[in-house]
Structure 1
Amino acid sequence: MNEFAIGGDLPVRRLGFGAMHLPTDAGPARENAIAVARRAVELGITLIDTAHLYGGGANEELLAEALHPYPDDLVVTTKVGVVRTGDDWKYDGRPESLRSQVDAGLKRLRVERIELLQLHRVDPETPLADQLGALRELRDAGKIGRIGLSEITVDELTRAREIVDIASVQNRYSLLDRSHEAVLEACEEARIAFLPWRPVLGSASNATAEIAGVASELGVTTAQVGLAWLLARSPVILPIPGTAKIPHLEENFAAAEVTLTDEHLERLGT
């Protein structure tokens, strides 16, 4: 499987794992979630995505319980900027809040430095320069290695790069959801890692006849076709499919070995 160096100096395998769906409540489901996380590392996955928002930090704690001390080549990236308020959540990119969220993430993940820290959403009520300035200060202090963004536009990416180096972008994107094509192209031009979330949405549940046909010809699932298409679409794409089941995890990981021909790609609309 190909690798990509996030920020130019942090190599990871291009097919990662999104931990959002892992249950964190005590009991058999949590034990299974720990087993899934450990199996991901056994398979050779070196990029795992979590966030402050996922369970209010419980997802980060779960990964630490499962995987700490982390393998030297494993990157656990987390996100800040969205907080829970009771049963709801809100954007919160105030510098003091971001600093607090990062410190809490460091503690929960049991690390002194988060190699890739992404702003989960741009807070429209806080100047972008203030949000990224706070993250830049945390990077300069050694608490963050690299800074990423999530669910942004091309204009926001352009403005952000005028403030601080951006190492990654995490937008929704898949074979059947290409609304952020322009953002992907901007990332490709700048060699910024593009981490599509919900990377198999649509290709797994609402497969077109062409997707189903290609899957049948190759003897794989439509979800695997969707992931293989992403890996072929651009060298900066690092899909992070998520699951709470080991067989599904193994199926997703096997997509890295699926080879789509030029004819397949043409049929899929590349």
Structure 2
Amino acid sequence: MASTARSDRLTETAVGAARPGGPGALAGRTVSRVGYGAMQLRRLDREAAVALLRRAVELGVDHVDTAHFYGDGFVNEVIAAALRPEDDVLVVSKVGAEPAPDGPVPLRLAQRPEQLRAAVEDNLKGLRLEQIPLVNLRRADRGPGLRPEGDQIVDLDDQLAVMADLRDEGKIGAVGLSGVSLDGLRQALPLGIACVQNAYSLVARDDEDMLRLCLAEDVAWVPYFPLGGAYAGLPKVTDEPAVVTAAQALGVSAAQIGLAWLLHHAPNTFLIPGTADPEHLRANTEAGAITLDEATLAALDSVPTRSGDIELG
């Protein structure tokens, strides 16, 4: 995989801020390769959440990832209130789950075609948009998390058909996939897939073949859980000795090294780290400007992947 530093990491966004991570193409748009995953906004009150999003825009973030099931619509409402047309922010959402406030986890799968359509409508309403530029279909084929049972076991072709209909109707601009298997991606490619969101990090590289396929097919790679450790028992990137050593040598945090490695590893990678803390937000965007030399990259590349396909949630 390509492991070269990018020289364009300080180009400017439409609002004049430096592009975190430099520019890349996502769903037909040029955006910063370091975006923002909005799920953690549900931990804040409305005023603080709006302020954090405004700060993200000031830092050059122009790619925000969300879902109606984040905070049962709260996060989408905050995004609608915080973002302005002149910010020129690409809003990406996802379907395939729905809120479950009283459940053991705050969501449940919603995989049936009629549920996917209803979720798009919920996202449109909450975000106050006529079209969502990119919507990811959240499967549950890979990675830690829920697994479908009963009527939630739905053929991918049936789901792709409704996503294609929604795109033809103009309600979504492009289709992505999340939590998908390699065979599932191959099956979906003829539809025209804009991106893949799978769990992936320095310590969880089971989807390396999928990343290579995405690179070959000009599909953006948007890893979630980019620092590992999302569930108890999963390895954390920040615990790795090679990561700690690199961070100490460069005078940055171990988390920033983990994010920088992802950007160096493949040129089609976009990051959506989430946080509810303004300082962590700043640090995440600054990770896009870190240059890793060949010796450091070699040390990081040698870190073994230890995740497996753990089923949790």
- Residues in 2 aligned to 1:12 and 1:86: alpha-carbon distance in whole angstroms: 33
In structure 2, the partner of 1:73 is 88
Local SS of the residue matching 2:67? coil
In structure 2, the partner of 1:151 is 179
Deviation by residue 1:115-140 (Cα, 9 ceiling, x = unmatched) = 01001225652221111111101101
Does structure 1 residue 103 correspond to structure 2 residue 126?
no
In structure 1, the partner of 2:75 is 59
Does structure 1 residue 36 correspond to structure 2 residue 56?
no
TM-score by length of 1: 0.92
Indicate how the Cα distance of structure 1 residues 238 and 99 shifts in structure 2: closer, same or farther if over 3 A, else same. Answer: same
Shift of 1:90: 2.6
Contact 1:24 1:30 in 2 (8 A): no
Local SS of the residue matching 1:173? coil
Q: Decide which of 31, 39, 53 is 1:12's aligned counterpart.
A: 31
Question: Residue 69 of structure 2 aligns to which amino acid in structure 1?
Answer: L
Local SS of the residue matching 1:114? coil
- Residues in 1 aligned to 2:277 and 2:69: alpha-carbon distance in whole angstroms: 21
- Residues in 1 aligned to 2:272 and 2:101: alpha-carbon distance in whole angstroms: 28
Contact 1:24 1:59 in 2 (8 A): no
In structure 2, the partner of 1:3 is 23
In structure 1, the partner of 2:102 is 87
Local SS of the residue matching 2:73? helix
Local SS of the residue matching 1:186? helix
Contact 2:70 2:99 in 1 (8 A): no
Does structure 1 residue 48 correspond to structure 2 residue 64?
yes
In structure 2, the partner of 1:233 is 265
- Residues in 2 aligned to 1:157 and 1:230: alpha-carbon distance in whole angstroms: 21
Q: Decide which of 109, 117, 125 is 2:135's aligned counterpart.
A: 117
Contact 1:24 1:62 in 2 (8 A): no
TM-score by length of 2: 0.80
Indicate how the Cα distance of structure 1 residues 85 and 217 shifts in structure 2: closer, same or farther if over 3 A, else same. Answer: closer
Deviation by residue 1:75-108 (Cα, 9 ceiling, x = unmatched) = 0101111113452333222222211111111111
Contact 1:184 1:194 in 2 (8 A): yes
Deviation by residue 1:170-216 (Cα, 9 ceiling, x = unmatched) = 01111222122222111111110111112123597642221111111
Contact 1:148 1:168 in 2 (8 A): yes
Question: Residue 165 of structure 1 aligns to which amino acid in structure 2?
Answer: G
Q: How many residues align?
A: 264
Q: Decide which of 173, 186, 197 is 2:224's aligned counterpart.
A: 197
Local SS of the residue matching 1:242? coil
| Unmatched tracts of structure 2, length 5 or more | 1-8, 10-21, 141-147, 230-234, 303-313
RMSD over aligned Cα atoms: 1.8
Contact 1:204 1:223 in 2 (8 A): no
Contact 2:26 2:194 in 1 (8 A): yes
Shift of 1:73: 2.6
Larger RCO (alpha carbons 8 Å, 6+ apart): 2
Does structure 1 residue 262 correspond to structure 2 residue 294?
yes
- Residues in 2 aligned to 1:269 and 1:205: alpha-carbon distance in whole angstroms: 12
Shift of 1:232: 0.2
- Residues in 2 aligned to 1:176 and 1:110: alpha-carbon distance in whole angstroms: 38
Question: Residue 50 of structure 1 aligns to which amino acid in structure 2?
Answer: T
- Residues in 2 aligned to 1:204 and 1:129: alpha-carbon distance in whole angstroms: 35
